[in-house]
Amino acid sequence: MKNTTKIIFPYDQSVVKELPLIDKGSVERILTTAYNLFIDQQNWISAFKRIEILEKAALIMKDRSEELIHIAISEGGKPYKDSKAEILRAIKGVKLAAEHILHIKGEQIPMGLTEASVNRIAFTSKEPIGVVAAVSAFNHPLNLAVHQIATAVAAGCPVIFKPASSTPLSGIALADILKEAGLPEGWLQVVLCDNETAELLVTDPRINFLTFIGSAKVGWSLKSKLSPGTRAALEHGGAAPVIVESDADFSEMIPDLVKGGFYHAGQVCVSVQKIYVNQEIVDLFVDQFSEAVQKLIVGNPFDENTDVGSLITPKEVNRVEEWVNEAIEEGAKLIAGGKRISDTTFQPTVLLNPSEDSKVSKYEIFGPVVCIYAFASREEAIKKANALEVHFQAAVFTKNIDVALDATKKLNATAVMINDNTAFRVDWMPFGGRDASGLGMGGISYTINEMTREKLMVFKSKSL
């Protein structure tokens, strides 16, 4: 009897589908298929054909957008309005991948600058890096798949895609669409497997590039075991700090931060988590922020009015509840929420001044919880914001350009949003963590570039 994985609707824990897992014996076949396609350049898909495939795939996705929304909700539990936004982003991502193929190019390297380099002309070209292993996360099941699969197709690489075991259906749907759009057999293989089998696959020497989205513990462990020469891009989480100064515009800021904190029940790697507010306005901020949070509708993600859906598993609800209770016991003031609604949902929660030693202050919450800290000194707030090992995206709210530039310079982050929440992202911008939060930069064009490598060609001729 083959091992299987059950895909569960997070909101009511009903079984959506049950799929087989591959065993270790299948790994060799999968790797051989991908590797043989790559080493024989006659198999390579020409640039114009890759453009055709991706453009057709985007059209199919658009035609089936409601079906893709339904799939994403059923496996991930993200509310309808947010799942719809994800699917539209995913379609745009596939289009961006097709468009970037035009920009996969090298450059001329100057010669004749020394006597030894005369009579030569040189230029670089870009080639596919090789077989890509892509390991994905649960929280954006279609859009993350696009960022790891469509980019590999655009770069001309065979790709082996391992979706999160809880949310594989969107990736499988994308694979079916790409096949329908003309992607030849073997260029994309979707594998469902346990962690041990996944490690066996991604650490094989025939893997040229690993793209990993998930926990830091797993990501850094896999990187340490990669074969020599295998390149990697890792995207982990953060604790998204926000600095709010006394001149911030409340009418813009409050709805923006509420959305950034509770989108997908906070299960976003750049979700607003820690808000440092100037003590001159902290009471007003707490009142308006908590009032807006308490208006959020928690419920069935298929309901178009739902703002906050379920967490991915009941285990995560238990963890969030424990962290919140611990924070309150250690001195945090509960401003809003704080309790589970059901086995799968938790109230949008606001905590004021939790201890810096509480888990909600030290680690990524990945749940519907936002912490507010009053500060007297912006320097001290930034110091606390930078104190964790994780550094991803941050934000500052102020109308003073000097304050904005000062905070941007001093915050340890790969991106700082000014008068916008930390969860802002468009798929053509660079996106990724630094330090413990990751390695390399995501974003459609940036990932495609990561999946290529340069080759230098030098011509020597007396005629030059």
| Active-site choice (75, 157, 193, 235) | 235
Q: Which two tokens stand for residue 238?
A: 């953060």
Torsion of CA 317, 390, 210, 65, to 10 degrees: 50
Angle between helices 47-63 and 143-155 (to 10 degrees): 160
Q: In degrees rounded to 5, what are phi and psi of residue 117?
A: -110, 15
Whether the Cβ atoms of residue 369 and residue 320 lie closer than 8 Å to each other: yes
- The whole-angstrom separation of Cα 89 and Cα 142 is 9
Phi, psi of 213 (to 5 degrees): -125, 120
The alpha-helical segments, DSSP class H, found in 386-463 are: 401-410, 444-450
Which neighbouring-strand residues pair with 350? 336, 370
Among 113, 111, 158, 115, smallest CA distance to 134 is for 158
Q: Is 269 a catalytic residue?
A: yes
The helix-helix angle for 47-63 and 80-100 (nearest 10°) equals 160
What sections of 126-225 are H helices per DSSP?
A: 143-155, 169-180, 195-202, 216-224
- With 0-12 / 13-18 / 19 or more C-beta atoms within 10 angstroms meaning exposed / middle / buried, residue 372 is buried
Please confirm, yes or no, whether 180 is among the known catalytic residues: no
- CA-to-CA separations, 20 to 4, 10, 193, 194, 358, in angstroms, rounded: 4, 20, 8, 11, 40
- The answer to whether the beta carbons of residues 31 and 11 sit under 8 Å apart is no
Which burial class, exposed, middle or buried, applies to 144 when counting CB atoms under 10 A from its CB (0-12, 13-18, 19+)?
buried
CA dist., res. 349 & res. 264, Å (int): 14
Among the listed residues 157, 193, 269, 371, the single catalytic one is: 269
Q: How far from the centroid of its chain's Cα atoms is residue 396's Cα?
A: 22
Q: What totals of helices (H) and strands (E) does the chain contain, helices first?
A: 15, 20
Residues involved in catalysis? 235, 269
